[in-house]
Amino acid sequence: MEDLIIFYAYRNKVNIFTPVIRKHIQKISRESFWLIAYALEGCNEADGKGDPQSWIRDGVNKDLKHLEGLKSDYPEVLLALSPLYMNEVLTSEVYLRKNIKIKKQILNNLYKMGEITKIETEDGHVFYGLPHSALAKAYWEHGKIYRKNLPEYEDFIYNYSALSMPNGIEAMVAAGKKIAKNLAVRLHKGNKTSDVILNEKSWEAIVIWTIYACNKSRITDSVIAAFVYKIKEFSNFDFTIHITHTLCGYSLDIGKAFLTLLILHDKQNFQIVTEYLESVERDYAEYCSRLSMEND
């Protein structure tokens, strides 16, 4: 970062970058090349004066205002992608179009301009992001005027997850343990937990989410059924064992309900679970044995 500041000063023939100013720039840039570009330009335009944060803020708003001049809808798209992408999570096109009312042509234009990124998965889902998570944080922090129609950060992630987007749990997990816990409570109160689990495409995200946010009081019959469905869908050993360990660890009743559903709907993975439980939990192993005999 120090070399970049020196190079910028040499290239632009300015001598305002004192050791104190260089320290300020490195601090507010947070090791991001995107932010240091804003900071250097802003500092130069302000002749090294003013609040260092304003050097980035002015640059961000200058770029957003330029995009607004091209099309009034453009800045809001960047802000709508920011809550998730500051944690490097992509936002579903379905959510952007149906819930924020962004037209597909607007998304296509910004993608062609290089302002946003686009990924299409094998199963046909289309997601959008930004060139870097540091940009997302800068847009969200400094472009507040362009997000007046958007929910606040935690509410945005809740809305996204509650609508059962294919990476809704991933979005909650990426936001951190505290927010994931808060949102798990809200989903439970809204009776949305099972739908969110059923639509999540990442087994890794579900595993982390159960560690962060699952609670015995929130494990309803529909949630147990959702976990059984995902075990069959993913057919992943690590996922199967983790969910087994989690649910059977809550209580005997929850564990039995889970195992009973599993043998009815997925005998192949039930056998895997049986072998696992034989090595760690005698009571459950005996219950699995009885279930197997009843279903033979």
How far is 157 from 142, CA to CA, in rounded Å?
Answer: 19
pLDDT interval class at 249 (50, 70, 90): confident
Residue 130 pLDDT greater than 90, yes or no: yes
pLDDT at 7 over 90: no
Q: What is the pLDDT of residue 215?
A: 85
**Residue range 12-34: mean pLDDT, rounded:** 83
- Global confidence as pTM: 0.91
| pLDDT at position 279 | 83
pLDDT digits (tens, 9 = 90+) for 63-102: 999 999 999 999 999 999 999 999 999 999 999 999 999 9
Express each pLDDT in 213-243 by its tens digit. Answer: 888 889 999 999 999 999 999 999 999 999 9
> Which domains are assigned to the chain?
2-70 (no CATH), 71-149 (1.10.10.10), 151-216 (no CATH), 219-296 (no CATH)
Q: What is the mean pLDDT of residues 103-126?
A: 96
Residue 118: phi, psi to the nearest 5? -145, 135
**Per-residue confidence at 19, pLDDT binned at 50, 70, 90?**
confident
Q: What is the H or E stretch that residue 155 is in?
A: helix 153-162
- Contact 84/160 with Cβ under 8 angstroms? yes
- Give the Cα separation of 238 and 255 in Å (integer): 18
Contact 181, 214 (CB under 8 A): no
pLDDT bin (cut points 50, 70, 90) of residue 266 is very high
The pLDDT score that the predictor gives to residue 149 is: 93
Average per-residue pLDDT for the chain: 92
Q: What digits encode the pLDDT tens for the residues 268-284?
A: 999 999 999 888 887 78
Interatomic CA distance for residues 41 and 285, integer angstroms:
66
pLDDT digits (tens, 9 = 90+) for 138-147: 999 999 999 9
Which pLDDT does position 57 carry in this prediction?
93
pLDDT at 11 (0 to 100) = 81
Q: With CA atoms as reference, report the closest residue to 179 among 195, 201, 161.
A: 161
Query: Could you report the per-residue pLDDT of 161-207, keeping only the tens digit for each?
Result: 999 999 999 999 999 999 999 999 999 999 999 999 999 999 999 99
- What burial letters (b/e) apply to 214-224, b meaning 16+ CB within 10 Å? beeeebeeebb
Q: Evaluate the CA torsion angle 94, 205, 244, 162 in order and state its sign.
A: negative
- pLDDT of residue 61 exceeding 80, the answer is yes
Q: Is the confidence at residue 137, as pLDDT, over 80?
A: yes
Q: Which pLDDT belongs to residue 280?
A: 83
